[in-house]
Structure 1
């Protein structure tokens, strides 16, 4: 069986970085064997403070003009002491001082050190950010998403800032109405106009959200925010009618998904036991989950998976639970399939990278991160980490306790993530080795699945 997570990076035990070193292909998400050691850097800083600070204070004291009056003497000493303390703090604290730190802190340090990297922590958020929509809509989206962070403040929430964010989004929506609607294809204009009106004045629109914020009811604000963001996503999906980039010529023979799709998977217990309902209800011998697959960021991977689903490749497939993942059995030979090149879309880029994992230590992060509970990705090929398995996929059960600095998976950027579990996430943790995929169906997105006329033999020869 191909190892789902045969990454080429493990965490080194330094303050900021992940250093490359081989990872045993037989295991998943190798954890650090020992805590990182800060002795060297600590010793260096202690030496600087001892040799620099005390001597500096001593030299400052000895250089004061004895003729100064006591007030001037004290003022001079105070200024020098403050300067010394600032130097000391600069050595010991990672916080920026007067904006100078940005001159020498690398992007990787900023990404991995910060406890709030703003990496999407839900599949819904990651999928919304992945939509290649109109720039005006992205400004509206970003303004609203910032409110999610403000709502996490435990006591006195900054409702004034929240209101300003919504008013900013509302102003952009009104001022750029023509641009927003012009980005929607002609056959979808009517639906787009309805969604636009809902965003402005609807029950879950921006005007209603401002009213909820003024009442300072966090529950109503949270519900209104979710409704507004859902409307934003629906509008953006209308604008993104296909891929925003051209695929490389050598990959045009692969199946591809030009947009979004939804797959429904029904899982049965293999030992006769039952699944527990999310909130009460009857015990069930089978359970259904849904995953949204994203062709905007991973068209080849999502397209190949959709093709396998429609051909019945996963019907009856057994599941195995391994460290932080649920993976399908090796189905090689069951159906005709191909190895798709590793496909990862970096944040801030317009097209995916192929056969090249991301370097998280250099500040690279994917649009579709692995570090989300319920992320769906392809395993690696048995022969090369530059290719995905032709059949095996896995659900990643992200656990922050087993992640690296910044809350990122140790294997972030190393696998082709192509979607997220959006319904039935509570089922994933109940799956055991031996459970079976009763059926897998592509219930939405068939019209976006493009199957080239060339057969699989042509694809194999091209790889």
Structure 2
């Protein structure tokens, strides 16, 4: 596992490969070609100013005609030169003119404001296939998170409008929201719904904090409301919202969410530093939430390996921006799962096909998040994931492309995120050992094929 080279203003299309003697694996990294180079940006700017508008009439001031024309040409050249330099040396759009020349697909990499989830919690919440009314409430509240980041005068009026919109949808569509919850979970859903409206961390309380213009209370209340929204959505999403392709129905799968707890020990006998200045610890406990809604086969295969004890005693390696397990497939009975990626806005995952970020394809579960958990590629085919090796991705925006996207975005099957102990990932070194890995939540959502069906799975 490796990280791409640092990004630059102009990047050519290159393929990076890495061979690690300890892993015996080959990984592919592609640096995407950015949409505008210095050469064609000059052409664009020159084209914009090649037919300037005259502001002086020859008929009115004939005696000054030649001197004004000469001065106008000099001024035009100066303006054009300044615009070219500013465009080449700054990544920001100038006067809104870039939108006329950069397609929406290319703008994914070009724009630094790409709204890709920057935390595992946000990515997991967006990945829940819930009632459309709940998604409308969620989107209105998430917009407030962006507004709170404004360092100067915060737009409390806009925040208030967002909460009122969320309240209106919640009240008017109450029946639809509750009807989307299975009957046996309806009572719990009703409690959560009441909490979302009038609870201590509900929308009414959030609205009051916004009117008082208290950013700290707004931030706390917003987090509480979004947590309640996620809990309601998880009740609505009782299983997979799509049918798996026929050829993959014999693979293990996870029909929902699961939580895996991993305990890691230092291989050299040293200790982990405490999160908040406490005592040193001999082991690090890390929890990851694995998502079967977007990656049912990948998450299911990983959960199966965890429950079989496949990772107990596994050694870890640190390779640039990742912590990856050594190849231990020889000691477990496992198969390669096809590369599995759910594109944003799509109903079901794509299989054996990486996403084209330059064409505007972004995954529901992005790699560009610190603590993302993904499978390595199979050594035989990049259309398949490794049957055993997974890695923690240590995302670093300094080594990312424009828009803050990893150069490997859309190339690996991401199936979860580190939700607890994320600060300990950077302390893991080559030679550290997974003492144990356990599926502590979600066992009832893990569906394993029968032995006969399992024999029909094609290994790569």
TM-score range, shorter chain: 0.7 to 0.9
Q: Give the match for residue 65 of structure 1.
A: 59
Q: Give the match for residue 22 of structure 1.
A: 15
1:11–1:18 CA contact under 8 A, matched in 2: no
1:373–1:397 CA contact under 8 A, matched in 2: yes
Q: Give the match for residue 377 of structure 1.
A: 374
Deviation of the 1:23 alpha carbon: 2.4
Aligned to 1:404, what secondary structure does the other structure show? coil
Distance in structure 1 (CA, Å) of the matches to 2:436 and 2:106:
44
Task: Kindly report which structure 2 residues correspond to 1:439-458, keeping only aligned pairs within 5 A, or say none.
Answer: 439-455=436-452, 458=455
Distance in structure 2 (CA, Å) of the matches to 1:92 and 1:119:
27
In structure 2, relative to structure 1, the CA distance for the partners of 1:31 and 1:390 (3 Å cut) is closer
Return the match for 1:193 from 181, 190, 194.
190
1:5–1:379 CA contact under 8 A, matched in 2: no
2:371–2:394 CA contact under 8 A, matched in 1: yes
Q: Give the match for residue 237 of structure 1.
A: 234
Is 1:366 paired with 2:363?
A: yes
In structure 2, relative to structure 1, the CA distance for the partners of 1:354 and 1:46 (3 Å cut) is closer
Q: Between 260-269 and 209-218, report the one with greater CA deviation.
A: 209-218
Q: Give the match for residue 52 of structure 1.
A: 50
Deviations 1:126-162 (A, max 9, x none): 0000000000000000000001101100121111111
In structure 2, relative to structure 1, the CA distance for the partners of 1:427 and 1:31 (3 Å cut) is farther
In structure 2, relative to structure 1, the CA distance for the partners of 1:453 and 1:104 (3 Å cut) is same
Deviation of the 1:108 alpha carbon: 2.4
In structure 2, relative to structure 1, the CA distance for the partners of 1:64 and 1:86 (3 Å cut) is farther
Deviations 1:266-294 (A, max 9, x none): 00111011001110211011010100000
TM-score in terms of structure 2 length: 0.87
Long gaps (5+) in structure 2: 21-26
Distance in structure 2 (CA, Å) of the matches to 1:113 and 1:46:
17
Q: Give the match for residue 109 of structure 1.
A: 106
Deviation of the 1:251 alpha carbon: 0.1
Distance in structure 2 (CA, Å) of the matches to 1:214 and 1:62:
54
Q: Give the match for residue 399 of structure 1.
A: 396
Task: Kindly report which structure 2 residues correspond to 1:266-415, keeping only aligned pairs within 5 A, or say none.
Answer: 266-415=263-412
1:253–1:454 CA contact under 8 A, matched in 2: no
1:18–1:361 CA contact under 8 A, matched in 2: no
Q: Give the match for residue 41 of structure 1.
A: 40
In structure 2, relative to structure 1, the CA distance for the partners of 1:207 and 1:86 (3 Å cut) is farther
In structure 2, relative to structure 1, the CA distance for the partners of 1:287 and 1:168 (3 Å cut) is same
Deviation of the 1:87 alpha carbon: 13
Task: Kindly report which structure 2 residues correspond to 1:417-428, keeping only aligned pairs within 5 A, or say none.
Answer: 417-428=414-425
Deviation of the 1:86 alpha carbon: 11
Distance in structure 2 (CA, Å) of the matches to 1:435 and 1:349:
39
Distance in structure 1 (CA, Å) of the matches to 2:172 and 2:35:
52
TM-score in terms of structure 1 length: 0.87
Distance in structure 2 (CA, Å) of the matches to 1:38 and 1:353:
32
Long gaps (5+) in structure 1: none
In structure 2, relative to structure 1, the CA distance for the partners of 1:413 and 1:46 (3 Å cut) is closer
Distance in structure 1 (CA, Å) of the matches to 2:242 and 2:454:
26
1:255–1:449 CA contact under 8 A, matched in 2: yes
What is the total number of aligned residue pairs between the two structures?
A: 439
Distance in structure 1 (CA, Å) of the matches to 2:85 and 2:105:
20
Distance in structure 1 (CA, Å) of the matches to 2:352 and 2:322:
23
